[in-house]
Amino acid sequence: MTTPSSPLQALARIRPDVRAMHAYGVQPSAGMLKMDAMENPFGLPPHLQAALGQRLGMVALNRYPGDRIADLKAALARYAGMPEGYGIVLGNGSDELITLLALACAQPGTGQRATMLAPMPGFVMYPLSAQLQGLDFVGVPLTPDFELDEPAMLAAIAQHRPAITYIAYPNNPTATLWDEGAVQRIIDAAGAQGGIVVMDEAYQPFASRTWIDRMRAEPARNAHVLLMRTLSKFGLAGVRLGYLIGPAAFVAEIDKVRPPYNVSVLNCEAALFALEHAEVFAAQAAELVAQRTVLVKALRQMPGVEKCWDSEANMVLIRVADAAKAYEGMKTRKVLVKNVSTMHPLLANCLRLTVGAAPDNAQMLAALQASL
């Protein structure tokens, strides 16, 4: 008779690097003002809530997603102003698209490892997806003021010849929208050695520029560029829908590794409904941009805030004397923000604050002031 294995023996089958990881953590937020995840604070107006509820109630939940996915792609292409000859891939949030890109570019069984490169500090999913899909990751530090270090980026591209280079535009967690000329030169360098560049525009609704304008203006120069966006910051964080735009033949290759039916009929219908009412969400974004100006001014006048950086997103990065103490003080006062100080040495004693509606911002500022 065989001896049953112990749970510990079975766990040994899990990859060691996975067992050493920590799962992506979401802070408990019951009873708290949630200012840690760059969510849109505005819900749908009541009449649109009723209309959406009626529409979702009519969705055929017993059927796999079908033609409405094509309708959603067409609606997103119109909304984004997708260039002629380009295609679009949908993801369960942009997180899934990042995973699919890494999966498509990995080189298992070849004896060679592909490389992913990105400025750091940046979005945590870039290095995580590289690790999980077997790519090497090269993080190129930003300058101390969170600008692109163009010479360092160009040198790293020449040395490592990355398969994928990520440029977050604007960046998370610094909220920086980098110099257009520097970005184009980095794109040129990556293309010269046969690499892909992904422009991650998760925070595009709050930014003053978008790279899709450059893709339309100089398509040949940007033929190796993919544009990635999400509807999360548009106002649909709970819907989980990301999209990737690029030359049609290029995008078709990424689509091959996409799981079938990865976007549910409910997600699809909710996104279509939101795009039909895009003006509502555009007004919400405009209000958040206006509130961002007020918030930045208040932070720069607050004693104890050592630095407040410019923002082109719906977040603001600040430096204080003791980020851990300020974070805990705010949490005690029922306000959740993000302590990013352990993410990268350049972020020492930094907090990331979501830009919210005026009452939320006032409550957050009061909690911060009392916690410094």
Tens digit of each residue's pLDDT (9 = 90 or more) over 285-296: 999 999 999 999
Amino acid in the structure at residue 299: L
pLDDT at 170: 98
Q: Phi, psi (5° rounding) for residue 19?
A: -65, -25
How confident is the model over 320-361, as pLDDT tens digits?
A: 999 999 999 999 999 999 999 999 999 999 999 999 999 999
Cis peptide bond N-terminal to 170, omega within 30: yes
CA dihedral 270, 272, 278, 284 (to 10 degrees): 20
CA count, 13 A, side-chain hemisphere, 359: 3
- Please give the span between the terminal C-alpha atoms of the chain, in angstroms, as a whole number: 65
Q: Three-class SS of residue 229?
A: strand
pLDDT tops 80 at residue 2: no
Whole-number CA gyration radius for the chain: 22
Tell me the per-residue pLDDT of 155-204, one tens digit each, with 9 for 90 and over: 999 999 999 999 999 999 999 999 999 999 999 999 999 999 999 999 99
pLDDT tens per residue across span 244-265: 999 999 999 999 999 999 999 9
**Contact call for residues 210 and 180 (beta carbons, < 8 A):** no
> What percent of the chain is modeled with pLDDT above 90?
89
Domains of the chain plus CATH, in order, are: 7-46+279-371 (3.90.1150.10), 64-276 (3.40.640.10)
Q: 141 and 149 in contact (C-beta within 8 Å)?
A: yes
Q: How confident is the model at residue 110 (pLDDT cuts 50, 70, 90)?
A: confident
Q: How confident is the model at residue 4 (pLDDT cuts 50, 70, 90)?
A: low
Answer yes or no: are the C-beta atoms of 197 and 187 closer than 8 Å: yes
pLDDT at 272 over 80: yes
1 pLDDT higher than 70:
no
Q: Which residues contact 163 (CB under 8 A, 6 or more apart)?
A: 105, 114, 115, 116, 135, 195, 196
List the one residue out of 308, 327, 293 whose CA is nearest residue 36.
327
Q: How confident is the model at residue 5 (pLDDT cuts 50, 70, 90)?
A: low
pLDDT at 59 over 90: yes
Neighbours of 369 (CB within 10 A): 17
- Do residues 199 and 228 make contact, with C-beta atoms less than 8 angstroms apart? yes
Question: What is the pLDDT, as a whole number, of residue 225?
Answer: 98
Classify residue 164 by its DSSP letter: E
At residue 221, the 3 state secondary structure works out as: coil
Closest by alpha carbon to 200, among 95, 115, 316, 69? Answer: 95
pLDDT band at 239 (very low <50, low <70, confident <90, very high): very high
pLDDT category of residue 129 using cuts at 50, 70 and 90? very high
Closest Cα partner for 364 from 315, 324, 321? 315
pLDDT of 111 above 80: no
Whether 195 and 157 have beta carbons less than 8 Å apart is answered as yes
Residue 261 gets the label, from left (phi > 0), alpha (psi -120 to 50) or beta, of left
Alpha helices in the chain (DSSP H): 7-11, 16-19, 46-57, 67-80, 93-105, 125-133, 150-160, 180-192, 212-217, 248-255, 265-276, 278-301, 323-332, 358-371
Contact between 138 and 90 under an 8 Å Cβ cutoff? The reply is no
Average pLDDT of the chain, as a whole number: 95
**Alpha helices for 230-357 (secondary structure H):** 248-255, 265-276, 278-301, 323-332
**How far out from the chain centre does Cα 201 lie?**
7
Rounded to whole angstroms, the maximal C-alpha distance in the chain is 75
**Exposure b/e, 232-247, CB count within 10 A at least 16 = b:** bbbbbbebbbbbbbbb
